[in-house]
Amino acid sequence: MRLLAFDTATPATTVALALADEKLLTRRHEPGPGERPGHVSELLPLALELLDEAGVGFAQLDRLAVGIGPGTFTGLRIGVATARALAHAHGLPLVGVSTLRALAAGAAGPTADVPAHLAVLDARRGEAFAAAWAGEQELLAPAALAPEALAEAVAALPPGTVAIGDGAVRFRAVLETAGAVVPADDSAAHRVEAAVHARLAAGMEPTAADAVLPAYLRLPDAELALRRRRATAS
Amino acid sequence: MILALETSCDDTCAAVVTQDGEIRSNVISSQGVHDRYGGVVPEVASRHHLELIGPVVDDALAQAGISLPELDAIAVTQGPGLVGALLVGVSTAKALAAAHRLPLIPVDHLHGHVAASFLKPSEFEPPFLILIASGGHTLLAHVRDHGPDWEVLGATHDDAAGEAFDKGARMLGLGYPGGPALQRLAEDGDPEAFAFPTAQQVPGLDFSFSGLKTALLYKLRELGEEETERRRADLAASYQRAIVETLARRVERALETDPALPQRLALGGGVAANGPLRERMRGLGVAIDIPPIQLCTDNAAMIASAARHLPALPFPQYAALDAYATGERGL
Ligand SMILES: [Zn+2]
């Protein structure tokens, strides 16, 4: 199956092209320290580079996959808008892949003795997006959690659970105190890689392209403020 | 044929326009979800754009009876506007174009408002002056040719005209969006009842609405609740008149002080829907073009129209194209 996958939920822009003979091509852009994410200017050029390298056009793809987050709202929309438009333009099947699921599945590969993987992304504002799996089994559903809630969630997971992702690095102290294992800051396990999305998406059922939307996991600030105002008024 | 996408604020728009300016389709999905917040919320607008843009593009293509690969180019609003909202349109347009190796034409939103006048059937041809007044912009420009290097003669120092309408409406308890509600209330009022300022002290051809806003606030305090309630229609009518006069007198000043300027005027932007403003402008005694209201408010046909006169970026030169926010570039 020829499958193009990408993820823009984290500051990185990651793209992978899986080809019929199990060959996998990847490209990645990581913003430097203090630099803004390059999603809008990097995503399409990286995808085109991969297609060029493989000598494949969009029309020859069998499937598209996109990371649906959670993550930065603007980044997610750039990825999902691009995926939906590409799918639409050639009637390609599109699969939305949870970025947390891909992060956990990516780390799960070689370490079979790890009881569970907790994927943690920096949700800013002192919160983390987190979810956990033991193999295929979901132990913690994706949610935005404050540090105390994150610690509580970790306490309920099997001992020795490995936490990965930029949020795991950011909340290392909280996670380790609660009993999770966090790999070294520079471990590749913390990186979201579209190669994993490509692998997962090959085995998933595509949905209607219009049904693929970001998993924001958080309401817009204005909506939260409005609900607070209404709650205090009543 | 050009397919254009416009997502700079809270309307999700797509249109198909021919090279000679005939509108084949002009689809506008007004989100209508921002009223509950009392104004456009960028994050809410962006979320809706993402959900709506696909179906809106489909509608525009279907109504025009054309498919993507048959297009000559795709155009998109690059800025200025709400960046998160613009990025949905830019990402979508780039992907649609790249998928079929079509050229892409990035368009400035304000160029679009000018180019609305070039569209058939009115086909108002340059040179002319244009007054663009909406919730986001207020400016007077000299349109010498099809662009895009037009001369801005005056712009607002503070609020946009549409913002002045909205803020006045809020002070009078009319909710959001305020423009149409204020105009309706004003119909039963006396525009001469109160003398509100029209920024005549602002030099040149620039606009200002902050003094007017403050004047209304003080007037409401002075009148007190009961009297304000009794005279709401008069207040609305007088306030509206001040906005209309602020706009109209700048145009008059331009026409009087520089005889070299064309004695032709076009209106653009959502405020061009205002009845008294249209009437006042028609009374200026110059040739005037006011496009139909769906071409004055934000739409994609005007973006396609501007794109007709701009260079197209061939595939894949536009792959890294980014959006730009309000204030990053001028007309
Ligand atoms: Zn506008």
Q: Which residue of A has its CA nearest to B321?
A: A41
Q: Is residue B32 predicted with pLDDT exceeding 80?
A: no
* B128 Cα to the center of ligand 1, angstroms: 19
| B325 in reach of chain A (CB within 8 A) | no
- In this prediction, residue A208 carries a pLDDT of 86
Chain B residues with beta carbon closer than 8 angstroms to that of A42? 320
- In this prediction, residue B104 carries a pLDDT of 98
CA atoms of B298 and B12, how far apart (whole Å): 9
pLDDT category, B69, cuts 50, 70, 90? Answer: very high
Question: Helix, strand, or coil here: A72?
Answer: coil
Delineate the domains of chain B, giving CATH numbers in brackets: 2-115+296-307 (3.30.420.40), 123-290 (3.30.420.40)
Residues 6+ apart with CB under 8 A from A76: A8, A9, A67, A68, A69, A70, A214, A216
Q: Which residue of B has its CA nearest to A56?
A: B99
pLDDT category, B330, cuts 50, 70, 90? Answer: low
| A53 in reach of chain B (CB within 8 A) | no
Closest listed residue to residue A66, CA positions, set A89, A45, A41, A92: A92
Q: Is residue B312 predicted with pLDDT exceeding 90?
A: yes
Q: Which residue of B has its CA nearest to A77?
A: B88
* B205 Cα to the center of ligand 1, angstroms: 20
Percentage of chain B lying above the pLDDT 70 cut:
98
The one-letter amino acid at A28: R
Q: Do B98 and A42 touch (CB under 8 A)?
A: no
Q: Do A89 and B100 touch (CB under 8 A)?
A: yes
Place of tokens 């990286």: A46
pLDDT digits (tens, 9 = 90+) for A39-80: 999 999 999 999 999 999 999 999 999 999 999 999 999 999
What average pLDDT does the segment B107-122 reach? 94
pLDDT digits (tens, 9 = 90+) for A183-193: 999 999 999 99
What average pLDDT does the segment A81-106 reach? 97
Q: Is residue A112 predicted with pLDDT exceeding 80?
A: no
The one-letter amino acid at A64: L
What average pLDDT does the segment A205-218 reach? 92
Please name every residue paired with B25 in a beta bridge, in sequence order, or none if there are none.
B16
What is the number of CB-based contacts under 8 A between chain A and chain B? 103
* B162 Cα to the center of ligand 1, angstroms: 10
| Residue B280 CA: distances (Å) to CA of A218, B9, B124, B144, B288 | 48, 28, 20, 24, 11
Q: Is residue B329 predicted with pLDDT exceeding 80?
A: no
- In this prediction, residue B37 carries a pLDDT of 86
What average pLDDT does the segment B15-19 reach? 98
Q: Where are the alpha helices (DSSP H) in chain A?
A: 39-54, 73-90, 99-108, 147-155, 166-170, 172-177, 194-202, 221-233
Chain A residues with beta carbon closer than 8 angstroms to that of B90? 40
| B314 in reach of chain A (CB within 8 A) | no
- In this prediction, residue B199 carries a pLDDT of 87
Chain B residues with beta carbon closer than 8 angstroms to that of A90? 99
pLDDT category, B331, cuts 50, 70, 90? Answer: low
pLDDT category, B328, cuts 50, 70, 90? Answer: low
Nearest CA-CA distance, residue B147 and chain A, Å: 27
Closest listed residue to residue A100, CA positions, set A78, A123, A77, A84: A123
The 3-state DSSP composition of chain A as helix, strand, coil percent (nearest 5) reads: 40, 25, 35
Q: Is residue B112 predicted with pLDDT exceeding 70?
A: yes
Of A58, A216, A223, the CB nearest to B99: A58
Mutate to test the interface with B, among A42, A78, A86 (most CBs of B within 10 A): A78
- In this prediction, residue B148 carries a pLDDT of 83
Q: Is residue A210 predicted with pLDDT exceeding 90?
A: no
pLDDT digits (tens, 9 = 90+) for B224-237: 999 999 999 999 99
Average pLDDT, chain B: 94
Q: Do A81 and B87 touch (CB under 8 A)?
A: yes
What average pLDDT does the segment B181-197 reach? 95
Chain A residues with beta carbon closer than 8 angstroms to that of B87? 40, 74, 77-78, 81
| Residue A72 CA: distances (Å) to CA of A44, A231, B225, B301 | 18, 28, 46, 32
Delineate the domains of chain A, giving CATH numbers in brackets: 3-99+190-229 (3.30.420.40), 111-189 (3.30.420.40)
| B41 in reach of chain A (CB within 8 A) | yes
Nearest CA-CA distance, residue A87 and chain B, Å: 9
- In this prediction, residue B327 carries a pLDDT of 67
What average pLDDT does the segment B75-79 reach? 97
Closest listed residue to residue B55, CA positions, set A84, A74, A129, A92: A84
| A199 in reach of chain B (CB within 8 A) | no
Percentage of chain B lying above the pLDDT 90 cut:
88
Backbone φ, ψ for residue B105 (5° rounding): -120, 105
> What ipTM was predicted for this assembly?
0.97
Q: Do B94 and A82 touch (CB under 8 A)?
A: yes
- In this prediction, residue A186 carries a pLDDT of 96
Q: Is residue B30 predicted with pLDDT exceeding 90?
A: no
Q: Which residue of B has its CA nearest to A221?
A: B43
pLDDT digits (tens, 9 = 90+) for A135-183: 999 999 999 999 999 999 999 999 999 999 999 999 999 999 999 999 9
Q: What angle do CA B19, B25, B28 make, to 5 degrees?
A: 125
User: Cis ω on the peptide bond leading into residue A158 (within 30° of 0)?
Assistant: no
- In this prediction, residue B91 carries a pLDDT of 98
* B111 Cα to the center of ligand 1, angstroms: 10
Q: Which residue of B has its CA nearest to A213?
A: B51
pLDDT digits (tens, 9 = 90+) for A1-27: 999 999 999 999 999 999 988 899 999
DSSP conformation class of B224: H
Q: What six digits make up the tokens of A94?
A: 């599109």
- In this prediction, residue A148 carries a pLDDT of 97
Of A88, A214, A216, the CB nearest to B54: A88
Q: What angle do CA B280, B285, B286 make, to 5 degrees?
A: 105
Q: Do B322 and A77 touch (CB under 8 A)?
A: no
- In this prediction, residue B299 carries a pLDDT of 98
- In this prediction, residue A99 carries a pLDDT of 98
What average pLDDT does the segment A209-224 reach? 92
Q: Which residue of B has its CA nearest to A92?
A: B99
CA atoms of B200 and A174, how far apart (whole Å): 62
Q: Which residue of A has its CA nearest to B317?
A: A45
Q: Is residue B178 predicted with pLDDT exceeding 90?
A: no
Nearest CA-CA distance, residue A229 and chain B, Å: 11
